[in-house]
Amino acid sequence: MNSVIEAFIILAVVWLAASLIIRRYRGGRLQVYPFLVILHLYSLQSVFDRILSASPRLWRIVSRIAVIAGFGMMFFAFYLLSNNLSTYLFRPAEASIHNVVLPLIPGITIKPQNLPYLLIALVIVLATHEGMHGVVARLEGIPVKSSGVFLAFVFPGGFVQPDEKAFKSASPGARMRIAAAGSFANLFIGLVAVACLLSFFTMAETGLYVSETDAGSVVQVGEVVKSIDDMPVRSSTIMKTITLRPEIKLETDRGERVYSVDPKHVGREMSLASVLRSLGVADVEPFVQARFDSPPFISQAVFKVFFWLQLVSLGVAVFNMLPIKMLDGELMLRSLLERVGFRHVNPAIYYLSGLSIALLVANMGLSYGRFGLVSF
């Protein structure tokens, strides 16, 4: 916990120092504020127009499907968070790592070795999300003034800025379609990534991939540990114990090796995780067998590209539809209520936004209380 606090303090100091040093650049395309950097790019309106001109009818159909999918994802987000909270409160014995709800914070909840895959996913997610907003905005006849990216503390993001006056004067239906477009693009990309995982991998865990070792380790990074003393090594068996004998047999993708055990430890019970740790293994990851022939480090890299892409894409698609201020879900719901002539739009939005935030905070708090800051 102290290391986490120290990391946040260091990041905060770096941010403040950087904002003070380059504050004179607060203008033009680059804007620097404490804990926030915004880079305005070209509007890309001509690019959106070319994409739209290929098949305006198709984009019109897609934009309407996106609205239906958007409200479906909004309801699913509420269900997911409510059901997860129910598990923590009323069925705590069933809570597992799969119930963890925590923000993706590089270096804290994201392991350094997974940062490249997270960045690849974020680039694809941001490009498709904001690009879809831009295309549908042009479909509705709304000019796009600018596009850009930002970094808020450690959280990257992107934006497409339509003409504010034209957007506000657009019909509620048009605003709904523009708001729903981004998450629908993420949903599509996420499902494509899932399809790739199912097509290229067996989805059956066949061992643990060694991703980090200590100096002098007898096991190398990139090896796949399959068994120890004939007991399968998997993420589900890593805490099982074996009785130490004078020698232990380690099976990896590179063959079998036998290691001598210190006589004073012979006869003791030791978990598979502890055995790996004693061999110098610092960190492991589940290894899923590929349907194509390749060295483990290549198949593991390909798997992680698609895994992180589906994780980030589907996560953004669903949670962006929550009716929270500054999220697309709030704009969608507000536009719907205005369209049906609901009289108390703002109170309804405030209530549902508060409920959404409460569900998120409760899930994150209980996740941290039960499992701590889990790193992925």
Q: List all residues 6 or more positions away from 144 whose beta carbon is below 8 Å from its beta carbon.
A: 43, 44, 45, 48, 134, 137, 138, 160, 161, 162, 163
Q: Which residue has the tokens 């004073």?
A: 264
Residue 15 pLDDT grade (very low, low, confident, very high; cuts 50, 70, 90):
low
Where are the chain's structural domains? 1-34, 42-199+306-371, 218-279
Q: Which of 321, 311, 328, 313 is nearest to 187 (CA)?
A: 313
How far apart CA 299 and CA 288 sit, in angstroms, is 8
Q: Which of 239, 45, 266, 22 is nearest to 137 (CA)?
A: 45
Reported as type and span, the H/E element at residue 290 is strand 281-290
How far apart CA 153 and CA 215 sit, in angstroms, is 34
How far apart CA 110 and CA 103 sit, in angstroms, is 9
Q: Which of 105, 98, 104, 67 is nearest to 80 (CA)?
A: 98
- Bridge partners, 176 (sequence order): none
Query: Could you tell me if 366 and 85 are in contact, meaning their C-beta atoms sit under 8 angstroms apart?
Result: yes
How far apart CA 78 and CA 334 sit, in angstroms, is 17
Q: Which tens digit of pLDDT belongs to each residue from 209-222?
A: 999 999 989 999 99
Q: Which of 317, 315, 320, 318 is nearest to 331 (CA)?
A: 320
**Please, what is the average pLDDT of the chain?**
89
Query: Could you tell me if 112 and 360 are in contact, meaning their C-beta atoms sit under 8 angstroms apart?
Result: no
pTM: 0.87
What's the confidence (pLDDT) of residue 265? 87
pLDDT over 70 percentage in the chain: 90
DSSP secondary structure, 217-285, as one string? -SS-TT-EEEEETTEE--TTTTT-EEE--SEEEEEETTEEEEEE--GGGTT-EEEHHHHHHHTTEEEEE
In degrees and rounded to multiples of 5, residue 83 shows phi and psi of -65, -40
Query: Could you tell me if 32 and 20 are in contact, meaning their C-beta atoms sit under 8 angstroms apart?
Result: no
How far apart CA 103 and CA 109 sit, in angstroms, is 7
SS3 content of the chain, % helix, strand, coil (to 5): 55, 20, 25
What's the confidence (pLDDT) of residue 34? 63
Does pLDDT of 25 surpass 60? no
Q: How far is CA 21 from CA 13, 15, 152, in A?
A: 12, 10, 17
What's the confidence (pLDDT) of residue 190? 98
DSSP secondary structure, 162-213, as one string? E-HHHHHHS-HHHHHHHHHHHHHHHHHHHHHHHHHHHHHEEEEEEEEEEEEE
First to last CA, the chain: 17
Does pLDDT of 1 surpass 50? no
Does pLDDT of 16 surpass 90? no
Q: List all residues 6 or more positions away from 191 whose beta carbon is below 8 Å from its beta carbon.
A: 310, 314
Q: Which residue has the tokens 């894409």?
A: 313
Starting at the edge strand that comes first in sequence, how are the strands of the sheet with 30-33 ordered? 30-33, 36-41, 144-152, 155-162
How far apart CA 102 and CA 180 sit, in angstroms, is 24
- Bridge partners, 41 (sequence order): 147
Q: Which tens digit of pLDDT belongs to each residue from 60-100?
A: 999 999 999 999 999 999 999 999 999 999 999 999 888 99
How far apart CA 57 and CA 291 sit, in angstroms, is 39
**Which stretch of 40-54, 287-301, 333-347 has the lowest confidence by average pLDDT?**
40-54
Q: Which tens digit of pLDDT belongs to each residue from 237-276?
A: 999 999 999 999 999 999 999 999 888 888 999 999 999 9
How far apart CA 13 and CA 356 sit, in angstroms, is 31
How far apart CA 187 and CA 230 sit, in angstroms, is 42
How far apart CA 17 and CA 131 sit, in angstroms, is 33
Region 169-174: what's the mean pLDDT? 95
